[in-house]
Structure 1
Amino acid sequence: MALGVPEDEVFAAADAVLARGERPTVKRVRQELGRGSPARVGSLLDIWWGQLAKRVEGETRLPGMPREVTEAFLALWQQATTFAQGVAEQSLTTINQAADLEQLLADRDAQIDDLRGQCQELKNKHDETLSQLGEYREQLHQSQRVLERVEAELARALEAAARERARSKD
């Protein structure tokens, strides 16, 4: 008489379901196996849940080993996981610092772009001011030439008036 699905297959299927991040249920384990009666899978799943805490603690990872060896292994394992956690935290801190620096660099690049734009605007205003200055100089030279002509005409008119007065006195 067949007993149904073997215990180790049900346990392996429950481990696979858990590894996917899902809670092992009778339905999910049966789907993973592709067979098995709900009663058989359910009873074996109850055993699996009972053993899970011990497995997580590492007690069944060294079956048949003396207690001292198991305790030494667990102590070493705890040190290794503590060290790995420290390394992971340090790596995460480094990654966060790098992200902060990348953001700072992006901000500085944006500021540089803004300053370049402002610099270009100032250069354009400078060029415009120089152009206006050239125009004002040309207008000044024209005004000076007009003034010189007016002064010359005035001088001639004053001389003519002085001659006319001198002639009328004579």
Structure 2
Amino acid sequence: MTSQTPKSAAPAPSPRQGGRGISEHDVWTAADTLLMAGQRPTIERIRQQLGRGSPNTVSPYLDAWFAGLGARLKGVGDGIAGVPEGVDMPVPVAHAAMNLWTLALEEGRAALAEEAAAKRAVLDARASELAADREALEQARAVLNERVTAAETAASDARQARDEAQAQARRAEALLIDAQADAVASRQALFAARDAAQALQDEHASHRASWDAERARLVERADANERRLMLELDTARESIKALQQERKQTQRQVQEAETAIATLTEAQHELRSAKALQDAVIARLREQVRTQEALAATYQSMLAAPPALAAATGRGLAPGAKRRVSGAVTPSASALRRSRRA
């Protein structure tokens, strides 16, 4: 179907300029573009289409576009399904308008359904509340009946209690007369007790003054004793410190003495060993001296004898005796050398 010229010219947008360079023509053009794309023109979609503009600027231009949309579509779209007779509009625009109208109807129906569901939920809630109120009312009525019954029972008990109270009041009146007589006697006894209590208070005040003086004296003595004890404690602490120092010094001296005793003990052991060796050497030397003296006496007797007898005597000595004589001389010399080294 070919497009037809509209019977009446659509109002053109005025060239008014908005904020940040946006004009009414720009907003209308963006709205037509969105409508041709099958989308409903909104402030956010127009701002996204233009890439600029504030909502306060786009909103009045969009309202003007919607206000002039009916006049622009009037007389357009003859022969298009769903378009009223006598309305002539281009086919794309007519389809876009019908889609927009269908979308609006669907949104309206959804809104009505949501509103009906919300109202139904409210009614259900109210029905539940009414049922709960009814149940609470029945419970309250039962409680009220119980309270009425309890009140009637309490009233009967109260009447009985009143009768008993009246009888008790009569008995109490008689007791009151007796109590008044006892009160007179008690008042007289109270005056006497008050005088005795005053005397006791005066005596107590006197004793308390003496007790306070004694306590002050004891406190002063305790303070003096505490100061003396503190001084003695300081002195004892100083003495303990001095004793500790003396103890440390004594311990050092004991350790030094123990070390010296150990050294002396070791030296005594060495001296004992040396003395034993010396005694052995002296004994051997004495034996050697005796042997040498015997040999010397023998040589002297040999020298004193005639030469023929000395030769015979010398020849008569056995070889073993000669070796013993030489051996007796040699060990004595070696023993002397060992004693010198020691």
> What TM-score does the superposition give when structure 1 sets the normalisation length?
0.47
> What TM-score does the superposition give when structure 2 sets the normalisation length?
0.25
